[in-house]
Amino acid sequence: MAAPARRAPGAKVELADIVRRHGAAFRATHRLCGVQHRALRAIERCRTVALGGELRQCDACGERRYVYHSCRNRHCPKCQTRAKERWLAARRAELLPVPYFHLVFTLPHELNALAQGNPRALYAMLFAAASQTLLEFGANPRWLGGEIAATLVLHTWGQTLTQHLHVHVLVAAGALSSSGTWVRSRRGFLFPVKALSVVFHGKFLAALNAALADGRLTLSGSTTALGEPRAQCSLLADLRKKAWVVYAKRPFAGPQQVLEYLGRYTHRTAISNERLVSCDARAVRFRYKDTAHGSRRRVMELPALEFLRRFALHVLPRGFNRIRHYGLLANRRKRALLAVARAALAVPEPVRDCSAAESIAAFWQRVAGLHIQRCPHCQLGTLRFLATLAPQPRPPP
């Protein structure tokens, strides 16, 4: 049997290459939790002999190809395309024919250390404070006086992989009133941003104060002192003084722009393979946008272990849902409320999208124009299944 194909010299570096090369040293020098270990292990084993796969042979030229299984870990940059497309197919049926606004709710960096020890709790507080703020503004007759439709997506990183805790929000420009009519927002305006910031600020700090007072947060490392009431009061006082940021962009023109936005943000990992430039025995280099200087494209170099430390910061707690829906899109009432909203807008029920049930070959043909069953050697024959490859204990070097 022919040996598995190796990456050609000079081929583009991937995150998996960095983990394989530096992962052992990183694990030996850094304390990781279970989900971080699992994410790194999945990434380094993805599409290698470690996960097994299939041997296929061209029915025209006889060329044999190894096709290895994917890890499907949500932090792996190679495994998000199909998950994203399936998710988008489901969302198409939920879009309303109205403009949509894009908002961003951000936590101050003073909370980063506390979030590292309590990611599930802090992320849940962020979701709760942002969603409750939006729902209350939507229900207020001064602004809309009804129930809004909002999708929130958690991001924990900035362009250089440092912690930047924020949620992106996609919200329809209007609300469904209790009488079943659709209340449209004023053109180009949804809610006052400064007022949103104040309410969001207050709700989050109230939740944080309660969690600290009840001892529900793990305090270790640089946050150990927060076990003292005086230190907690000092932290809360400092956070009250800061200006909390809620950012609002211009509304999207239509559903197609909404879907493009969703595709960019929902299944994004902390760093994509496209941004990686090189990796050697010492350092990793990657591209980033320097937002402080007009979003110029630059290249950053980090020691390899520091690069992996920053990446590991953004591994989510096990089972934590980073995409959440509120108001008309809340799961338990979504079907009924969306039907009422469509009736109020005088639009028909959407046609069911059957792309979620398509085969892998059909999916890649539709999304990327790739004929994954065509022989890459002769470009004429079809790759036919020949044998199953059992998982091997270790991935290739």
The domain ranges of the chain are 15-76+365-389, 94-270+314-345
DSSP 292-330: GGTTEEEEEEEEHHHHHHHHHTTPPPTT--SEEEEETT-
Model pTM score? 0.89
Report whether pLDDT(87) > 70: yes
Beta strands in the chain (DSSP E): 53-58, 64-68, 100-106, 149-157, 163-172, 174-176, 182-184, 246-248, 276-279, 283-290, 296-303, 323-327, 383-389
**Region of poorest pLDDT, from 3-7, 132-136, 246-250, 327-331:** 3-7
Give me the pLDDT at residue 5, please. 38
Between 220 and 43, the more confident residue is 43
pLDDT band at 1 (very low <50, low <70, confident <90, very high): very low
For the chain, how far is it from start to end, CA to CA, in angstroms?
19
pLDDT band at 267 (very low <50, low <70, confident <90, very high): confident
Contact 70, 52 (CB under 8 A): no
Over the stretch 125-177, which tens digit does the pLDDT of each residue have?
Answer: 999 999 999 999 999 999 999 999 999 999 999 999 999 999 999 999 999 99
Contact 119, 201 (CB under 8 A): no
Q: What is the dihedral of CA 45, 161, 313, 109, to 10 degrees?
A: -170
Give me the pLDDT at residue 181, please. 97
* Residue 63, phi then psi, degrees to nearest 5: -60, 135
Average pLDDT over residues 66-75: 91
The percentage of the chain sitting over the pLDDT mark of 90, rounded to a whole number, equals 67
Report whether pLDDT(10) > 60: no
Contact 20, 397 (CB under 8 A): yes
**Region of poorest pLDDT, from 19-33, 53-67, 71-85:** 71-85
Give me the pLDDT at residue 144, please. 96
What b/e readout covers 170-204, taking b as 16+ CB neighbours within 10 angstroms?
bbbbbbbbeeeebbebeeeebbeeeebbebbbebb
Contact 238, 180 (CB under 8 A): no
Check the CA dihedral 231-236-242-246 and report its sign: positive
Both tokens assigned to 137: 């503004």
The average confidence (pLDDT) of the chain is 88
Over the stretch 284-310, which tens digit does the pLDDT of each residue have?
Answer: 999 999 887 888 999 999 999 999 999
- What type of residue is 240? R
**Residue (of 124, 123, 102) closest to 169 by Cα position:** 102
Report whether pLDDT(41) > 60: yes
Both tokens assigned to 221: 């490392």
